[in-house]
Structures are given as C-alpha cells and as structure tokens.
Structure 1
Amino acid sequence: MKRVLIATEKPFAHSALSKISEVIRQSGYELHLLEKYQSKTELLEAVKSAEALIVRSDIVDREVLDAATDLKIVVRAGAGYDNVDTAYAKEKSVVVMNTPGQNSNAVAELAIGLAIYGIREFFSGKSGGELRGRTLGLHGYGYVARNVHRIARAFGMRVIVYTRYSKAQATSEGLEVASSLEELYALSDVVSIHVPARGEHLKSVSMDVLKHLKENAIIVNTARKEVIHEEDLCAFMEERTDVKYLSDITPDCAAVFAEKFAGRYYFTPKKIGAQTEEANTNAGVAAAEQIVSFFENDDRSFQVNK
C-alpha cells in the first residue's frame, strides 16, 4: 500500500481535503496528514515513511529529501515550485511535479482586485479612477495572466502583453504583444506581473524597466518578490511619487515602504493568491490524481525536474 503524506503548514480547506482524501483512499493508498506543524522536526519525522508527498508553500529542501528515504514523488499543489529543491530531488531520483493552472483564476481575481484597490485610492474616500479605458500590461502570459486578460476585457480595458515564450498564444487571442519589457511598462496604466522566480525573470523588474513607467501607473505583483529588484523599486518610488505598488508578497524592504511610501502601497498579510476554497480543491485534487497516475501508469506529464 502506497503511503501518501499531505504536509501543509497552511492547511487545505476542509472541503478540499475531503475530496483529496477520497481520491487517495479510493486508489487503495494510505493517507497521512501533517497540518499546521510548528517545527521542521515534525516534518522530518513525518516524511520518513512517505512514498508520496503533497505540499503547498512548504519547504522541501535537502534535509527533508534526505529524511524521506522511501520518497518517490513530491507534488506542489500550485504552480510555483521554488520551495522544492528540484535539482537535489533529481539526484535522489525523486520526481517533482506542480499543478499548473489550478490556482490561476483565484490569483487572477486577486490581481484585478488589487488593481481596483489601487486605482480607487485604497478605498480611502479620495477621488480615484476607473479601470475602463485604461491599458493593462501583462508581464508574462501563463495561466494566471490569461485569466487576468479574460477578466480585464470585461472591465473594458485595453490589454497588452510582453512574453518571450507565449507569443503565438497571445497573438492567437488578439493580444497586442509589446516588443520589449520597457515598451510594455511605458504603455501600461496598470502592470500585472506573472513570471516565475527563476532564470532571466529574477530581479527583472529593475530601474532599467521601471524608469519607463507611465505617470500614475500601478504595479501589481502576485508572482514572487524575487522577480523585483527591491533596491531599484525603492529608489524608483522615491523619485516617482505618482506610482503605486500592490502585492500579496511582503518585500524584504517593507520597512522602507512604511517609512517613505505611505498611501502608495499595499501588502496582504500573507500570500493569498491561491487562498480560495475552489483553488484549494482544484490544486489538491490535481496533486492527488497526479500521484495516482504516476504510481499506476508512470505518468510524468507534469514533472518539473526532468
């Protein structure tokens, strides 16, 4: 009997967990839960006998992988997987997967919500603006950005995109594709960031790009803090007092924002893009189904450490 561990410091919604459990148990597998754990020691103990592991934002590093001597597969219930040491997992012959697209609508709705919050002056009572007729620039065009595009069109926004890898997809949907990141930022009233925290995207939102932003622009980041060059962002916002920055990731330079940029930024208390019951269910069930498919059919369709 395969042993599956769900280790989540931030637990799945109850209804989501019920459906995840059903998939695992109907396959004849043994399910173990580690929720709201307080120390890494608890996780290290729990993974010792696990053959499959489902996590959310939980850190799966070398120490965890070394402790999990029977582990065959880790599935990150969500799109981003920078919390898993994929290279070391490959060395240990552990397959790592994610569940792309399952949280995308939830994150997209948050991105639009943050844009509204920013343009309406943080609901402070000051006279704000409207999204209709304004230009939304999508920095990246993956699953989340495509949902942002869908929602933004309903608001009557003009949507443009900069992407190196999904140009054909964007063009086929009638999107205007900017020739450079600098052009995207120069044309956009609202920029919504949707790129992973790896490779060329790390610190890609730098002064070289930011200096092209339109007057009174709003930056929305529901991706990762690592895609922002934080020193440049702080320096830029000090120069450009018209720009707002909203995110569901608190930056390392949050103290600078609090000291210098009051009324021009907002950070959610924790990362909440995927924190909906629907997203919980979609990602969690997908993770469970991928584990079953892997063990029963050697299906590695969503492997990210090939």
Structure 2
Amino acid sequence: MPKVLISDKMDPKAAQIFRERGVEVDEITGKTPDELKAIIGQYDGLAIRSATKVTREILEHATNLKVVGRAGIGVDNVDIPAASAKGVVVMNTPFGNSITTAEHAIALMFALARQLPEADASTQAGKWEKNRFMGVELTSKTLGLIGAGNIGSIVADRARGLKMKVVAFDPFLTPERALEIGVEKVTLDELLARADFITLHTPLTDQTRNILSAENLAKTKKGVRIINCARGGLIDEAALKEGLDSGHIAGAALDVFVTEPAKDSPLFNTPNFISTPHLGASTTEAQVNVAIQVAEQMADFLVSGGVTNALNMPSLSAEEAPKLKPYMALAERLGSLIGQLSTGAIDRISVHTEGAAAELNQKPITSAVLAGFLRTQTATVNMVNAPLLARDRGIEVREIRSEREGDYHTLVRAAVRTSDGERSVVGTLFGDQSPRLVELFGVKVEADIAGQMLYVVNEDAPGFIGRLGTLLGEAGVNIGTFHLGRRQAGGEAVLLLSVDEPVTAELLARVKALPGVKTAMGLSF
C-alpha cells in the first residue's frame, strides 16, 4: 500500500480521499526541516501547501519518494530540478483556486476604483469626507491583462461582464484563443500605453521578473491603477512607490510581495495603496477544492499511474494509463535491450510508433524507452528524470509517429545512432498485453523480452545449434525459450535464449569459443 505524508495543514477531505483510494496517509504538520528529513524516507508521496520547503537536502533523504503534490498553483517552495533529477513527479492544482484568485483581483479593482479602504477608515473615524473620495467607474475602461491563462481568462470574462474593454499581453496566447475569451492580443508596450487598469496573472520566471520595472511603469498611462494577485517580484516595488508618490500611478493593490510575510514594505502607508496578506486562494471553497484535487491526483498516480498537472513529466490521465501500461513496458524493454547491445558513443535516440501505438500519447512511450536505455548505465533512472538525463548527456531525442499499419497492428521501434552507425530494435504486443520482439538490428526474430537471456550472433551453419545446446546442458543451464533469426541462408544468424539463471562470464567465454560465434552477451530484463 502506498504511503503519503501530509506535512501542511489541509482540509480533512484530502486524507479521506487518500484512504478511500487505498493509500495509507499520515497527517504530521509543523515539522522542522531536520524533523522532516528524519521521517520522509518512509513515504511514497508528500502533500504540501506553502509552508513545507521541499529542498534538495530534503529530497536526498526521501529515498522512497515518488510524487510531491502542491495543493495550490505556486511551487516556489519545491526544488523542481532536484526533484526531477531524483525522478520525483511534482504536481500542483492550477485550477482549484482559479475562480477565487480571479474574484480577489476583481475585488481589488473595485476597491481601487472607489477608494473603499480609505473611505471606510475615514468614515469609521467619524469624518464624513464625501467630497474627498471621488472614484472612477469601471464601465468603458480598458483593462490590461499581463497573462491570459486560466486565471487571466476568468478575470477577462468578469471584466467584460462589467462592460470593460480587455487587452492582453501573453506570448502564448493564440489569436483563436484571444477571440474565444473576448480579448484583444497586444504587445506589452501597447498594453502599458492603453490600459486604465492593469492586472497580472503570470508565473514568476526569469522572463517575467520585474515585468513592471521602473522603465515599464514609466510607459503606463497617467492615472493607471495596478493589481497583482499573482506572484511577488513581478513588479519593482520601489518603482511602484515612486509612481504612487508622484501621482503618475493613481492606485495599486498588491496581494503578493517580493518578501513574505511582508511586514515592513516601503509601500505601506503610501496613499492610494491597498494590500492584503496573500489572500488570493483564501476562501473556504478554494481550500477544499485544492485539497481534494491534490489528493485525487496523487492517489491516481500512486495507484494507477495517472499523471495530472505534473510540472516535470507529460500528463497521463487515469483513463490513458491502463492503455499505455503495456506499451510503456514494451518501450522500456526495447530501450533496455538496445542499451545493453549497443557499443560506441550514442548521440541520438529515435522512437517511432506505428499503427495503434501511434494513436496514443507518445511522450510516456518515449520516456519509457529512455528510462530503459539509461538504466543500463545508471540505476537511479525512471520516466521522470530520463529525458533530463538524456539531455545532460547530449543525446538528441526524436519522436516519429506513423498511423499506417504494416505487418503488425501496432509497433514500437527504438533506434540509436552511434559512432558505429544506426541500429534499431522493434517490438509489438502479443494479445495487446505481452511485449514481443519482432526485429533486432534488421534481423526478423520472434522473441519474448524478459528475465535472463543469452544473445548470440553466429555464422549460419549446420550443427551450431546442437553444439550450443550441448554446451549449455553440460554447464547445467536450463533453456526456457529459444528464438532464432537470420538475414539469409548461410549468412549471419541471431539467437536469443531465455535461461533460468544469470549468464556468467565463464559461460560466455565458453560460448564465444564455439566455432562460428561472432558475439555473445548476457542480457537481463
């Protein structure tokens, strides 16, 4: 039974879902990093919010960890490169708090437009300063979205309902998607020049850090109002204060800060500035939603192999996983086979699917080939870190898909390019479940790929099979299955034998000494 640790305070429904799905769960919150290191080795999964920091050091002690699930969208507290290198899947729940965060941005926009916090404080202080708080309408104003993904598109929908015009800057926004969500796609400079309100909905990356820099804030329309419910660091806070003090910026509302908790920000007590303590996801509904989603996603992965909302691995739905499982087993064994048999420096691996295999999600099949191949060189490889390790070794990875059917209704071909040339192995599924090798380095062969095997290349000549069988019998080696292929009569033949015990160096030496043997190797799957 898989075992999961919930290390941050989370809605009780998360633990309930884990148990209902057959996953053992411990709820142990508030641990120090040293305390977490002492226990993390017991767990297959770690469910967190924002308090737990999943550092490289924590991951080094997580000897059984397979998945980290973040209940929420931000994963700043997870060392994703270190997790990927260790083969740990990192998931988040990008949609569980989308509506809540979008609504908070809209609420802050209203608060800025009508100066609600200051008006409230003034009124409760006994001042009736009706003429002091002259607000602006949202109707007919232009809203500029920096980021038009899931949350940004919800904000756009609500803003259009308020009769606002919405323009958006997002490098990944297609013209078709812009039309679908009712926004005008513009450049960043166009947005800065036109927007009456600007709201940010983009992750913090090297490309987006300080996207509203002093230089870009100076390009904004005089009287602009700015809202950030996304990530601290998207705005140069010192430049924002200067803009507020000068009056160029009419107002700003931040739910997020560069340093959190924000206790001494220079923006505090600045006129026309509103702040909230990272409340974007803080509604009862959102807390329940993200807890349920992270538990469902992690349980799917640990129980059935489904991968949803992973940040370092291709998604694989729980429905897809059973269909892909036999193909991934086939792909991994083909990768292992070609890895064990290939010599010379390898600079390219190609994965070609045909027929029924080509209709499936190819990313997991490719990752399985890479994992099988690289596992012949290092033990700590799985489908998560295999693509990363291949890239680190300078191996080019190609994917080829062909929906046509040939002699078999489904095929997976794994090929490597080495200094000695290109070689490939081809496999299919027998009865749609059992991996079967059908071609080895251009030689047609029908063979299982499992257990301990002896691989022999020899000259095709009468008497060889008898001599090999006699040798194995004298050595006390029992043959499970026997597979033979050849390019042409009298040419080169290939033998694949499954045996009950690992092939020893002594046995290989005796096989290689047989007349006509060119190559002999022990294989293990």
Structure 2 residue 141 is matched with structure 1 residue 166: no
Q: Distance in 2 between matches of 1:267 and 1:44?
A: 36
Instruction: Calculate percent identity across the aligned residue pairs.
Output: 32
Structure 2 residue 157 is matched with structure 1 residue 150: yes
Q: CA deviation at 1:143?
A: 0.9
Q: Distance in 2 between matches of 1:229 and 1:118?
A: 19
Match of 2:109 in 1: 115
2:73 corresponds, among 68, 74, 79, to: 79
Structure 2 residue 259 is matched with structure 1 residue 266: no
Match of 1:114, SS state, is helix
Q: CA deviation at 1:66?
A: 2.0
Alignment-mate amino acid for residue 305 of structure 2 = D
Match of 1:3 in 2: 3
* 1:59-98 matched pairs, under 5 angstroms: 59-98=53-92
Q: Distance in 2 between matches of 1:240 and 1:207?
A: 14
Alignment-mate amino acid for residue 266 of structure 2 = V
CA contact (8 A) 2:245 2:270 kept: no
Structure 2 residue 290 is matched with structure 1 residue 283: yes
Match of 1:128 in 2: 135
User: What is the TM-score normalised by the length of structure 2?
Assistant: 0.53
* 1:191-270 matched pairs, under 5 angstroms: 191-252=198-259, 254-258=264-268, 262-268=270-276, 270=277
Q: Distance in 1 between matches of 2:164 and 2:15?
A: 41
Match of 1:225, SS state, is coil
Considering only aligned residues, what root-mean-square deviation do their CA atoms show, in Å? Answer: 2.0
Structure 2 residue 12 is matched with structure 1 residue 25: no
CA contact (8 A) 2:281 2:287 kept: yes
Q: Distance in 1 between matches of 2:28 and 2:59?
A: 16
Return closer, same or farther for 1:42/1:272 CA change in 2, 3 Å cut-off: farther
Return closer, same or farther for 1:242/1:271 CA change in 2, 3 Å cut-off: closer
Match of 1:43 in 2: 36
1:53 corresponds, among 36, 39, 46, to: 46
Instruction: Please identify the structure whose Cα radius of gyration is greater.
Output: 2
CA contact (8 A) 1:62 1:85 kept: yes
Matched residues, number: 295
Q: Distance in 1 between matches of 2:144 and 2:312?
A: 31
Q: CA deviation at 1:46?
A: 4.3
Q: CA deviation at 1:171?
A: 2.4
Return closer, same or farther for 1:46/1:108 CA change in 2, 3 Å cut-off: farther
Q: Distance in 2 between matches of 1:97 and 1:251?
A: 24
Match of 1:200, SS state, is coil
1:34 corresponds, among 20, 28, 35, to: 28
CA deviation vs aligned residue, 1:9-32 (integer Å, no higher than 9, x gap): xx23xxxx2322221001121111
Q: Distance in 1 between matches of 2:46 and 2:190?
A: 42
Q: CA deviation at 1:175?
A: 1.4
Q: CA deviation at 1:102?
A: 1.5
Return closer, same or farther for 1:3/1:122 CA change in 2, 3 Å cut-off: same
Alignment-mate amino acid for residue 158 of structure 1 = K
Structure 1 window deviating more from structure 2 (188-197 vs 124-133): it is 124-133
Q: CA deviation at 1:38?
A: 6.3
CA deviation vs aligned residue, 1:224-269 (integer Å, no higher than 9, x gap): 11222334334433444543221111344954223xx62221221x
Match of 2:136, SS state, is coil
Alignment gaps of 5+ in structure 2: 120-132, 314-525
Q: Distance in 2 between matches of 1:173 and 1:255?
A: 36
Return closer, same or farther for 1:227/1:123 CA change in 2, 3 Å cut-off: closer
CA contact (8 A) 1:61 1:85 kept: yes
CA contact (8 A) 2:196 2:224 kept: yes
Q: Distance in 1 between matches of 2:24 and 2:303?
A: 15
- Higher strand proportion: 2
Return closer, same or farther for 1:38/1:246 CA change in 2, 3 Å cut-off: farther
Return closer, same or farther for 1:136/1:155 CA change in 2, 3 Å cut-off: same
Q: CA deviation at 1:87?
A: 0.1
Q: Distance in 1 between matches of 2:194 and 2:106?
A: 18
Return closer, same or farther for 1:78/1:154 CA change in 2, 3 Å cut-off: same
CA contact (8 A) 1:222 1:249 kept: yes
CA deviation vs aligned residue, 1:27-86 (integer Å, no higher than 9, x gap): 121111123x16333433442322101111132111221232221100111122122100
Alignment-mate amino acid for residue 136 of structure 1 = L
Alignment gaps of 5+ in structure 1: none
Match of 2:274, SS state, is strand
Q: CA deviation at 1:292?
A: 1.5
CA contact (8 A) 2:45 2:67 kept: yes
Q: Distance in 1 between matches of 2:310 and 2:271?
A: 43
CA contact (8 A) 1:34 1:43 kept: no
Q: Distance in 2 between matches of 1:44 and 1:120?
A: 50
User: What is the TM-score normalised by the length of structure 1?
Assistant: 0.89
